[in-house]
Structure 1
Amino acid sequence: MRRTFVVKMLLGAAIPLCMTLASGVALYLALQSSLSASSQMLQQQAIIASANSLKLRFVDAETGQRGYALTGREEFLLPYEQASASFSLMFDRLVQMVEDQPEQLSRLNNAGNLFERWQREAATISIERRRNGISTPDVENLERGKQLVDSFRLLMNELTEAANLQLQSKQQESVIIGHRANLIAIVGFGSAVLAALVMWLLLANQTSLSVNGITQAAKRMAEGDWRTRAPEIGQDELAEMARAFNQMAERLERMVSEEQKARHSLAQRVDDMVASRTKEMLAMNHLVEMLQSCHRRDEAILVLESILPSLFTTTSGALFLNEEKGEHYPLVVSWGQPDTIEGKRLAEGDCWALRRGKPYEISGQINHEIICAHIDNVGGCHYCTPLSAHGSMLGVLHVGLMEGRQKEWENRKQLAQAVAEQVSLSLANIQLRERLQQQSVRDPLTGLYNRRYLEESIQRELGRAKREQTPLAVIMLDLDHFKCINDKHGHSAGDKVLVAVSELLKRALRGEDLICRYGGEEFTLIMPGATLDIALLRAEHLRSSIEQLRIEVADDQQLNVTSSMGIAAYPNHGDDTQLLLSLADDALYKAKSAGRNQVHIAAEQFA
């Protein structure tokens, strides 16, 4: 009887315990699956980021190749070569990421083949043509290059879309796994408790008050009261059984409590991590897209002011960009910083990242005693990363994290480095685009606007004058006997004369007046708001100033030069740009025919 009772009691304890352990194992496997799904989601996010960076490298290579093909300037080959070199590294890294995904690997290999074809069939041919002195664009080559670029973008878009679909699939899988874990916990532990209850009920008829007490305790536990305990009466087997039951109850209470805490903590961490990474990725993609759409530096700064604070929500930070002329780095955007940082300007020596040309970290273990001069609050962790491209320093990005949040530090540093790289490339491309734009409308010798810009601007200014019903004057200016200066003193002396006269015109005219080098020694002046009489006074003043100008063409030699001018004005001489230019040019010819060094007004036109 005693052994039978012990065997029954052992069975009553062993069966629920085995079910509990089985449920625990199943729950552990479900949690492992959830962690695996999270890891795969992170991998897809990395693939998307690398694919976007790969597209940017292709765009940089195409921009550099196109700039060299259009201008023939060697410095445009640098971004092409750098982008081509980094393209191969990033391509290999992305291949490693998708090597276990045949479809993605096939798309990536096709994209790589398109890049190689573009280099071989478009970029190299265009560059060799330019190096051989052929400046005329090859329309067929340009069209072929464009088709290859479009095909590459399409493939990379398919790759990122596929990665996004896999990311969404893994997110759904993670949710399903969470539901499965809840089901395992409920069914497994519920079954264990139910089995224990059945065993206690079967033994109720052969047990005394102690067994009834254990049975009542088991019932209360089945109802969810994990703190209940069975009465321990006497020192017999029933008492030992009660004690064993109580020990089991304590273990179950701890296991359930720990399991609930672990499940809740894990689910919360996974949700937070996925939401944070997704938000960062979307914000990063938005930042890249907006910067790629900017055509000017001030537009890029507005984009950075709008997006950076929302991208670094848990950190403080600041972005300093170099002045276009000067050696300082004024603050352009800050977040989470004290008011004292407003209007701050950095010198190169104020930041160790600028001095070293590479990132500089300040944390509890690294450089905690050497602080950059621009950091006011030295508590927590700080990371400064320089913005550089094509060998020039563009600025520095600083992020700080308060004490107590060190677990986020590595992710914040990686995000800051990625943002710095994207901002550097975008700002460098904008600078390159602005430089090309200036070169296309400026005369390289004098710095004045060229004839192409004149033809665009005079149409705009005349249209404004018509709308606002204000006058507009056009002056054609030609230097007298300029050919004799070139023939007698050489072209270098002629260039000095042109530069000196150009500087005089810049100083003498208003800021709203437009000065263009029309060609050779001939200049065109557009004066919005100037009547014919005002234009005549200004022209006479310019003629006199040029006549008094002494130009040093050698150490012991000075030249003086005179000028002839012709004037036409709206509305006196008509409302057509070509007519005004033609009449001003005719008046200039009459001034030269009348003996030079004088100003003539065009004859008024009559209907």
Structure 2
Amino acid sequence: MSWHRRRQIITLLFGAGIALLIALAGVSVYLDNQAVKRSAELSQIRDHTDAAQRVLVALVDIETGVRGYLITGESSYLAPLFRGRDQITNLRAVMGPEIDPWSAPGYSELTLAQLMTRRQNLIDSLLETARVKGFNMAREELRLGESKFLMDRMRAVLTYKINMFEEEADRTQRSADYYAELHSFLVVASLGIAILFSIAQFFLFRSEVSGRGAVEQVLRRRNEDRHQVTEMSTALQLADSRHEAYAIIASFARRMMTEVSGVLYVYTASRDQLTRVAQWSRKGEAHTFAEQLHPQECWGLRQGSRHDGCAGESGAATDAAPITCRHLDGEDELGPYACIPIVGRGQILGMLHLRGEILRRRKTAAVLDDTIERLTDQLSLSLTNIELREKLENMALRDGLTGLYNRRFLDETLERDLSKLQRDRKSGAVLLLDVDHFKRFNDTHGHQAGDEALRRVGTALLASVRQSDVVCRYGGEEFLVFLPDCNTAQATAKAEKIRAAVPGTSMTMGERVIPSVTISIGLAMFPAHAQTRALLLQMADRALYQAKAAGRNRVVVAGPEPTPAPVAAPAEAAK
């Protein structure tokens, strides 16, 4: 999961957690208000129940007081009556609007206030009868009157209201208990959800911190790679040869990709195969890389893009392809590898071959892939620069027609080589060659044939000399050969060999056969004939002039009076 996506999830969870907690807080406040409301209702119901019970007790006291007074005639029995009346009066003064309308539907249509008024009138009448007519008359009136009827109706109304209040109190209590339980549940749930969100955010934050650490590590490695690439680029610009450049590449690749071993292959000039130019091994590992390989042996080169292989392994063990490049045939315990073509100027310049366990999974190799990309980009640029620099050097130091060194190269190196011979007390020779009758050949057979003749002469010269000898095109149809560390006899024999080799080359232009050319050679020895470059070239030029004057196709050794060397038969000269 990307860091940006993880941050979005954290923000969403944080917002959802806050919204949920706010919603739970709102619900909790609502439930708490409902619980308080139910508690208030329950308190009111209990007040009503208590009032009904107190009224019933007061009515019983009044009934008891009246009956006791009428039976005994003792005025002391009137105390409960007065007490009950006071209690009812007080209750009606406080709760009259609430208790007066009470009734018992289906049993008594009269309200409690009406019943109590009639009851009060009846009691007043009984007391008046007892006072005026006597207790016997009052008792008879009590027995025959509606006292019992009124008392039963009031008792029924109060009992009905008490039962109703108890049922309502029970319902209200259950409702209050439900809201209280729901409130408690929501509080616990809120705490649980808050804890879960906190845990989720903790892990996400920890993951984000780890991700940021990984990102910082990647960025740190990228910066280090950029620094290494910059250093390598600077070093490659200062390299004065391919060999030194390849050594620099191997050194920096080892520092930049410590997780893998690798080798760099580049195309040869003929582009029919690649040769190994740089390699490095991971610490504690030793790999044997092929010295050379053909493009068709590598899947990466054939498809022109990166190829990841794992020597036949596939499936869950690796992300690599199950096919193996043929240039790895015979490798034991090869493991995962990668072949990355290096492309520059629209063509493949080489191939970077890497090996290491980190390549088994593309996910684990993601950080290394960035390094590989930067390195291959720099290698592409560096190999292109090396090739262009060599071409420029060849253009500056070599003749474009024959491929031989040009006069500029001769001027730079001959002075140095002569100084070395003088320091080592050795001798050397300069051969100045000229193609005989070249102007006539050019006019007769055309400039194209003349160019081909010069190329064939250059090829014959290269085939006839040592690797340490220097062959240059001196100008026009003139060539120069410098033979270090040789005496006059050796130089003369070499000159004769060259002179005999040139006519032995056959030339054709399409279907037309062109006759061979011959050369004349002037030979001057260092330090016997001259001890400076200019004088040595002058002596060789004088000897060449003498060779042409003597009839051409011959070798003349410089001297006070140059003498032509005997002309040998072609077969003998070739020896």
* TM-score normalized by the length of structure 2: 0.55
User: For residues 511 and 330 of structure 1, what CA distance do their matches in structure 2 show?
Assistant: 22
Q: Counterpart of 2:252?
A: 307
Change in CA separation of 1:347 and 1:596 when aligned onto 2, cut-off 3 Å = closer
User: For residues 501 and 392 of structure 2, what CA distance do their matches in structure 1 show?
Assistant: 34
Q: Which aligned pairs between 1:451-600 and structure 2 lie closer than 5 A?
A: 451-547=407-503, 550-552=506-508, 555=511, 557-600=513-556
Cα drift, residue 469 of structure 1? 0.9
Picking from 393, 401, 418, the partner of 2:348 is: 393
- Counterpart of 2:447, as a letter, is H
Identical positions, percent: 32
Note if 1:345 corresponds to 2:292.
yes
**Contact in 2 for aligned 1:516/1:523 (Cα 8 Å):** yes
User: For residues 252 and 428 of structure 2, what CA distance do their matches in structure 1 show?
Assistant: 44
Change in CA separation of 1:315 and 1:518 when aligned onto 2, cut-off 3 Å = closer
Change in CA separation of 1:319 and 1:548 when aligned onto 2, cut-off 3 Å = closer
User: For residues 346 and 390 of structure 1, what CA distance do their matches in structure 2 show?
Assistant: 22
User: For residues 273 and 557 of structure 1, what CA distance do their matches in structure 2 show?
Assistant: 69
**Contact in 2 for aligned 1:397/1:416 (Cα 8 Å):** no
**Contact in 2 for aligned 1:379/1:402 (Cα 8 Å):** no
Note if 1:418 corresponds to 2:374.
yes
Change in CA separation of 1:548 and 1:343 when aligned onto 2, cut-off 3 Å = closer
Relative to structure 2, which stretch is displaced further, 387-396 or 260-269?
A: 260-269
SS in structure 2 of the partner of residue 469 of structure 1: coil
CA deviations over 1:44-85 (Å, ceiling 9, x no partner): xxxxxxxxxxxxxxxxxxxxxxxxxxxxxxxxxxxxxxxxxx
- Counterpart of 2:252, as a letter, is I
Q: Counterpart of 2:169?
A: none
**Contact in 1 for aligned 2:427/2:486 (Cα 8 Å):** yes
Cα drift, residue 333 of structure 1? 1.2
**Contact in 2 for aligned 1:291/1:303 (Cα 8 Å):** yes
Change in CA separation of 1:506 and 1:350 when aligned onto 2, cut-off 3 Å = closer
User: For residues 307 and 503 of structure 2, what CA distance do their matches in structure 1 show?
Assistant: 59
Note if 1:293 corresponds to 2:238.
yes
User: For residues 344 and 586 of structure 1, what CA distance do their matches in structure 2 show?
Assistant: 50
Relative to structure 2, which stretch is displaced further, 546-555 or 302-311?
A: 546-555
Cα drift, residue 440 of structure 1? 1.7
Cα drift, residue 277 of structure 1? 3.8
Change in CA separation of 1:536 and 1:431 when aligned onto 2, cut-off 3 Å = same
Q: Counterpart of 1:329?
A: 274
User: For residues 298 and 436 of structure 1, what CA distance do their matches in structure 2 show?
Assistant: 18
- Counterpart of 1:395, as a letter, is G
Change in CA separation of 1:379 and 1:445 when aligned onto 2, cut-off 3 Å = closer
Cα drift, residue 521 of structure 1? 1.7
SS in structure 2 of the partner of residue 470 of structure 1: coil
User: For residues 345 and 565 of structure 1, what CA distance do their matches in structure 2 show?
Assistant: 42
Picking from 433, 446, 452, the partner of 2:389 is: 433
Change in CA separation of 1:265 and 1:418 when aligned onto 2, cut-off 3 Å = closer
Cα drift, residue 421 of structure 1? 1.2
Change in CA separation of 1:422 and 1:593 when aligned onto 2, cut-off 3 Å = same
SS in structure 2 of the partner of residue 341 of structure 1: coil
SS in structure 2 of the partner of residue 413 of structure 1: helix
Cα drift, residue 553 of structure 1? 5.1
CA deviations over 1:160-209 (Å, ceiling 9, x no partner): xxxxxxxxxxxxxxxxxxxxxxxxxxxxxxxxxxxxxxxxxxxxxxxxxx
User: For residues 494 and 267 of structure 1, what CA distance do their matches in structure 2 show?
Assistant: 72
Q: Counterpart of 1:280?
A: 225
**Contact in 2 for aligned 1:445/1:495 (Cα 8 Å):** yes
- Counterpart of 2:382, as a letter, is S
Q: Counterpart of 1:358?
A: 305
Change in CA separation of 1:571 and 1:335 when aligned onto 2, cut-off 3 Å = same
User: For residues 440 and 410 of structure 2, what CA distance do their matches in structure 1 show?
Assistant: 28
Change in CA separation of 1:427 and 1:263 when aligned onto 2, cut-off 3 Å = closer
Change in CA separation of 1:377 and 1:397 when aligned onto 2, cut-off 3 Å = farther
Change in CA separation of 1:350 and 1:598 when aligned onto 2, cut-off 3 Å = closer
User: For residues 449 and 471 of structure 2, what CA distance do their matches in structure 1 show?
Assistant: 22
Picking from 322, 329, 332, the partner of 1:369 is: 322
**Contact in 2 for aligned 1:300/1:427 (Cα 8 Å):** no
User: For residues 473 and 340 of structure 1, what CA distance do their matches in structure 2 show?
Assistant: 48
- Counterpart of 1:483, as a letter, is K
Cα drift, residue 510 of structure 1? 1.8
Cα drift, residue 581 of structure 1? 0.6
User: For residues 334 and 446 of structure 2, what CA distance do their matches in structure 1 show?
Assistant: 67
Cα drift, residue 584 of structure 1? 1.1
CA deviations over 1:393-444 (Å, ceiling 9, x no partner): 1122244552697654222112212211110111011101101111222222
User: For residues 374 and 548 of structure 1, what CA distance do their matches in structure 2 show?
Assistant: 43
**Contact in 1 for aligned 2:499/2:518 (Cα 8 Å):** yes
User: For residues 395 and 547 of structure 1, what CA distance do their matches in structure 2 show?
Assistant: 41
Aligned length: 365
- Counterpart of 1:335, as a letter, is S
User: For residues 599 and 272 of structure 1, what CA distance do their matches in structure 2 show?
Assistant: 74
Cα drift, residue 373 of structure 1? 4.2
In the alignment, structure 1 segments of 5+ residues that lack a partner are 1-30, 36-243
User: For residues 267 and 402 of structure 1, what CA distance do their matches in structure 2 show?
Assistant: 25
Change in CA separation of 1:282 and 1:601 when aligned onto 2, cut-off 3 Å = same
Change in CA separation of 1:410 and 1:508 when aligned onto 2, cut-off 3 Å = same
- Counterpart of 2:294, as a letter, is A
Q: Counterpart of 1:11?
A: none
- Counterpart of 1:477, as a letter, is L
SS in structure 2 of the partner of residue 393 of structure 1: strand
User: For residues 548 and 320 of structure 1, what CA distance do their matches in structure 2 show?
Assistant: 40
- Counterpart of 1:488, as a letter, is T
Change in CA separation of 1:269 and 1:498 when aligned onto 2, cut-off 3 Å = closer
Change in CA separation of 1:408 and 1:280 when aligned onto 2, cut-off 3 Å = farther
In the alignment, structure 2 segments of 5+ residues that lack a partner are 8-187, 562-575
User: For residues 471 and 547 of structure 1, what CA distance do their matches in structure 2 show?
Assistant: 29
Q: Higher Cα Rg: structure 1 or 2?
A: 2
**Contact in 1 for aligned 2:343/2:349 (Cα 8 Å):** yes
Cα drift, residue 353 of structure 1? 2.1
User: For residues 428 and 457 of structure 1, what CA distance do their matches in structure 2 show?
Assistant: 27
Change in CA separation of 1:578 and 1:416 when aligned onto 2, cut-off 3 Å = same
Change in CA separation of 1:543 and 1:389 when aligned onto 2, cut-off 3 Å = same
User: For residues 271 and 518 of structure 1, what CA distance do their matches in structure 2 show?
Assistant: 62
